[in-house]
Amino acid sequence: MINNIYNIFLNKIENIIYFIIKIIMNKSYPSICIPCIYSYKMTKPELNRIFRKIFEKDIISKIKIIKIEKGLYDYKKIIIDLYEWPDNRTSKRFRDLLINGKEVKIVNEGDLYIKCVAYNNKKYNNKIYGK
């Protein structure tokens, strides 16, 4: 009985370590999600410009804009895949916050900001990162 519990515990620890190593090794993890944006000016070229300015590189491999229609409150959800996270201080801080479940707010056009979180969709992450 104790051996069985011990083996289950070891298996869980191995899975956690494997997942952490995959995150560290995969330099494009995580994808960035902008869960809700109402601006119709937010286009793919505009997003490229914003993130190029932040990361000082052209790192976006794919932008997926999902239109969500809720009657009067139509908005967009945006998923941004990166080739890889740049190796600079700003990028490392941004990535660490996302990996740790925090949000990052990017100030854009005065008082308006863009809320970014790590995209957390198991089916999508399995396809992109091979988890």
pLDDT higher than threshold 90 for residue 37:
no
Binned at pLDDT 50, 70 and 90, residue 131 comes out as very low
pLDDT value, residue 30: 86
Could you tell me the two tokens for 52?
A: 């190029």
- Which residues, 6+ apart, have CB-to-CB distance to 42 below 8 Å? 76, 78, 114
The CATH architecture assigned to 28-129 reads 2-Layer Sandwich (3.30)
Q: What is the 3-state secondary structure (H, E, C) of 11-65?
A: HHHHHHHHHHHHHHHCCCCCCEEEEEECCCCCCHHHHHHHHHHHHCCCCEEEEEE
Lowest-pLDDT range, 27-31, 95-99, 114-118, 119-123?
119-123
Nearest residue to 70 (alpha-carbon basis) of 47, 36, 115: 36
pLDDT band (50, 70, 90) for residue 5: confident
Give the per-residue pLDDT at 21: 62
pLDDT, tens only, 67-112: 888 877 788 899 999 888 888 898 889 999 998 899 999 887 766 7
Percent of the chain whose predicted confidence (pLDDT) is above 70 = 82
Query: Domain residues of the chain, as ranges?
Result: 28-129
The one-letter amino acid code at 1 reads: M
More confident residue, 115 or 127: 115
Cα-Cα-Cα-Cα torsion 40, 128, 48, 38, nearest 10 degrees, comes to 20
Burial 16-31 (b: 16+ CB within 10 A, else e): eeeeeeeeeeeeebbb
- Residue 111 is classified by DSSP as T
